[in-house]
């Protein structure tokens, strides 16, 4: 059971493709996050949105473009990715500084 739903669960894309990851939270939280999880590395915070406003961008390359149309939805638009961008992308939400609630992630493979 998860209050945070991510789609798709798996995605394979070529380096010239454009795709989007979607996240939806049903918890009434005001903050949403994108994290990247690569093998043998700690989770890396990518973006934070608080009340739909982007409050943090951790030097993420411009080929990743987030969008937060409302407090319940978060997107990550992908274009011209590199093979090293292959990873598990996790969305999370929180109410202020409360514990993060994570979705099950999108496993992305860039070929």
Partner 1 sequence: SQELEQSPQSLIVQEGKNLTINCTSSKTLYGLYWYKQKYGEGLIFLMMLQKGGEEKSHEKITAKLDEKKQQSSLHITASQPSHAGIYLCGADIKNSGYSTLTFGKGTMLLVSP
Q: Which stretch binds partner 1 (CB under 8 A): 12-20, 64-72, 76-84, 94-102?
A: 94-102
Site string for partner 1, 27-66 (x = CB under 8 A): ----x-x------xxxx-x--x-x----xx----------
DSSP 84: G
Provide the greatest CA pair distance for the chain.
38
Minimum distance of partner 1 from residue 90's CB (angstroms): 6
Contact by Cβ (8 Å): 64, 46: yes
Nearer to partner 1, 46 or 81 (CB): 46
Contact by Cβ (8 Å): 56, 46: no
């Amino acid at each position: 059971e998860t209050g945070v739903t991510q789609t798709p669960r798996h995605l394979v894309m070529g380096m010239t493709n454009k795709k989007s990851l979607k996240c939806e939270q049903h918890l009434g939280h005001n903050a949403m996050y994108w994290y990247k999880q690569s093998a043998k590395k700690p989770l890396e915070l990518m973006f934070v949105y608080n009340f739909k406003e982007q409050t943090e961008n951790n030097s993420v390359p411009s080929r990743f473009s987030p969008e937060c149309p409302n407090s319940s939805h978060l997107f990550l638009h992908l274009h011209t990715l590199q093979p090293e961008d292959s990873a598990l992308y996790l969305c999370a939400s929180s109410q202020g500084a409360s514990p993060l609630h994570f979705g099950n992630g999108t496993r992305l493979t860039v070929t």
